[in-house]
Amino acid sequence: MSIFNYSIPTNTDSMENLDKQSKYMRARERVDELKKFYGNLTSYVLVITGLALVNYYTNGFEYMWFLWAAFGWGIGLVFHAIKTFDLNPLFGKQWEKRKIEEFMKEEDTTDKWK
C-alpha cells in the first residue's frame, strides 16, 4: 500500500463543484419564486372569497364592492405571474440572456484587435 494512493483534486473537479453549486442556487431561487407566487395566489383566493361572503351577508350582492379589491389585487397578481413564469416577451429572462451573450461576443471580437 502506497502513501501516494490518493487523488489530488484537479481544477476541473472544483469547476464541476462550482457548477453544481451554481445550478443548485438557481434552482433554489426558482423554487422560492414559485412558493411566493403560489402563496400570493392562495391568499388572493381565500381573502377575496371571504370578502365576497361578507359582501353577500351584509347586502346580498346589491352592490358588489368586493370586486374592487379583487380587481386591484388581481392586477398585482398578474404582474407577479408575468415575473415568476417569465411571460414578458420584451424584457424577460430570455431577452436578458440573449443580450448578455451578445455583449460578451461583442467584447470578445473587440479584444482580439487590441
48-58 confidence digits (pLDDT tens): 999 999 999 99
Domain segments of the chain as ranges? 11-85
Per-residue pLDDT tens over the stretch 93-105: 888 888 888 898 8
For the cut 70, the answer to whether the pLDDT of residue 46 exceeds it is yes
> What is the pLDDT, as a whole number, of residue 98?
87
The model's confidence at residue 1, banded by pLDDT at 50, 70 and 90, is low
Q: For the stretch 45-56, what's the b/e string if a residue is b when 16 or more beta carbons lie within 10 angstroms of its beta carbon?
A: eeebeebbeebe
For the cut 70, the answer to whether the pLDDT of residue 2 exceeds it is no
**Inter-residue contact 65 to 55 (CB < 8 Å):** yes
- The Cα–Cα gap between 17 and 107 comes to 28
The average confidence (pLDDT) of the chain is 87
Per-residue pLDDT tens over the stretch 62-104: 999 999 999 999 999 999 999 999 888 787 788 888 888 889 8
- The Cα–Cα gap between 36 and 38 comes to 6
